[in-house]
């Protein structure tokens, strides 16, 4: 992966995070509420408060902190960024689009699937989760297991990031957005770079999930928080965890934090970063038709020592 990133110019062309975050350019409340509907006519924006499960409700404290400006987005040890007061997320309009297209092509290629339908990276299968029934469609265990992919555990994460170059390139760009000094890699020898990745950067990634979102909606999730859903990881992720979601191909999708305005994805490279401990959901389309959209979710946290591989049973 390190060689490929040098050849593609990923490190030298990494986008510098905006010095002025979206939060400082907010319109007044009335304008924000009016604009929240614009562009979302095809989405079901019902509040769905009745779907807020009892075990998720305590996590609303994180949403409240974001609204108060008391909870920024960032990893421990690195300078945080202020999320939009409208959506509660940090948006990136174009995160390494060529890598997104390559990864979407890889995910959609039947040759990269096991006989059971699981994603394979270098012939190694990675099943998805199959018990997460908080979805906007009719839950189907076997379908969900092939429409989602779990990569977790220290060795599996390092394997995926090195053996699937477009994934590794996107990971570097996500770290750049979180103000992790990946630019220092340019001045290192190949051996030093490999050591830095394995000792400093890979450990920041606690899990990677791939999602196929379509009319079946088994990867369109109701109100949830990632801190609770990832509780099976050891050591446990902290309340400071960051979730980064990158859309890999074109198509309209949306998500929102509870009590915030929705955020819309429409193109490959659209990305959001937010506090994963906050309650959020996928916003379903009223009529999804036959469109298929692929996404990758990076779950990040620091400090980090090791992760015990296990298949998280989302319930």
pLDDT single digits (tens) 198-228: 899 999 999 999 999 999 999 999 999 999 9
CATH of the domain at 6: 2.60.120.620
E strands in 134-183 = 148-152
3-class secondary-structure state, position 126: strand
- pLDDT-derived band at 35 (thresholds 50, 70, 90) equals very low
**Cβ-based neighbours of 252, under 8 Å, separated by 6 or more:** 42, 43, 264, 265, 266, 285, 291
- pLDDT-derived band at 113 (thresholds 50, 70, 90) equals very high
Q: Is residue 305 part of a domain?
A: no
3-class secondary-structure state, position 279: coil
Q: Which residue(s) pair with 256 in the sheet?
A: 281
Q: Is residue 307 part of a domain?
A: no
- Arithmetic mean of pLDDT, 3-12: 39
Q: Using an 8 Å Cβ cutoff, are 62 and 277 in contact?
A: yes
Burial 212-229 (b: 16+ CB within 10 A, else e): bbbebbbbbbbbbbbbbb
E strands in the chain = 90-92, 119-121, 124-126, 148-152, 205-213, 242-247, 253-257, 263-265, 271-275, 280-283, 293-300
- Arithmetic mean of pLDDT, 275-299: 97
Q: Is residue 86 part of a domain?
A: yes
For 52: left if phi > 0, alpha if psi spans -120 to 50, otherwise beta; the answer is: beta
Question: Which H helix or E strand runs over 241?
Answer: none
Q: Is residue 54 part of a domain?
A: yes
Number of domains in the chain: 1
Tokens standing for residue 164: 């699937």
Q: Is residue 121 part of a domain?
A: yes
Q: Is residue 180 part of a domain?
A: yes
Q: Is residue 306 part of a domain?
A: no
Q: Which residue(s) pair with 257 in the sheet?
A: 280
**Cβ-based neighbours of 130, under 8 Å, separated by 6 or more:** 141, 142, 144, 145
- pLDDT-derived band at 27 (thresholds 50, 70, 90) equals very low
Q: Is residue 114 part of a domain?
A: yes
Q: pLDDT digits over 298-308, tens only?
A: 999 986 443 33
**Cβ-based neighbours of 222, under 8 Å, separated by 6 or more:** 48, 51, 134, 135, 136, 281, 282
Parent domain of 209: 2-300
CA distance 196 to 64: 37
Query: Average model confidence (pLDDT) for the chain?
Result: 87
């Amino acid at each position: 992966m390190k060689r490929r990133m040098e050849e593609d110019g990923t490190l030298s062309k990494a986008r510098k995070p905006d010095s002025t975050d979206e939060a400082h350019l907010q319109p007044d409340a009335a304008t924000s509420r009016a604009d929240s509907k614009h562009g979302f006519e095809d989405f079901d924006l019902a509040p769905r408060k009745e779907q807020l499960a009892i075990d998720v409700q305590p996590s609303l404290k994180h949403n409240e902190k974001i609204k108060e400006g008391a909870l920024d987005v960032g990893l421990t040890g690195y300078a945080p960024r202020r999320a939009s007061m409208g959506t509660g997320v940090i948006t990136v309009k174009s995160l390494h689009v060529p890598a997104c297209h390559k990864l979407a092509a890889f995910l959609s290629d039947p040759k990269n699937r096991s006989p059971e339908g699981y994603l394979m990276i270098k012939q190694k299968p990675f099943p998805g989760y199959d018990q997460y029934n908080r979805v906007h469609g009719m839950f189907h265990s076997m379908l969900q297991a092939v429409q989602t992919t779990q990569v977790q555990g220290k060795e599996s994460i390092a394997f995926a990031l090195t053996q699937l170059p477009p994934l590794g390139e996107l990971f570097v760009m996500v770290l750049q957005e979180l103000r992790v000094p990946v630019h220092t890699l340019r001045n290192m020898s190949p051996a030093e770079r490999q050591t830095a990745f394995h000792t400093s950067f890979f450990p920041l990634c606690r899990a990677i999930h791939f999602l196929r979102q379509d009319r079946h909606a088994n990867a369109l999730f109701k109100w949830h928080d990632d801190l609770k859903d990832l509780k099976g990881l050891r050591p446990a992720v902290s309340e400071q965890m960051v979730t980064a979601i990158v859309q890999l191909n074109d198509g309209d999708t949306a998500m929102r934090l509870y009590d915030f305005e929705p955020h819309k994805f429409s193109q490959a490279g659209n990305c959001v970063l937010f506090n994963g401990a906050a309650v959020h959901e996928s916003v379903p389309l009223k009529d999804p038709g036959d469109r298929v959209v692929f996404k990758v979710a990076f779950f990040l946290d620091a400090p980090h020592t090791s992760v015990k591989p296990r298949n998280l049973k989302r319930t």
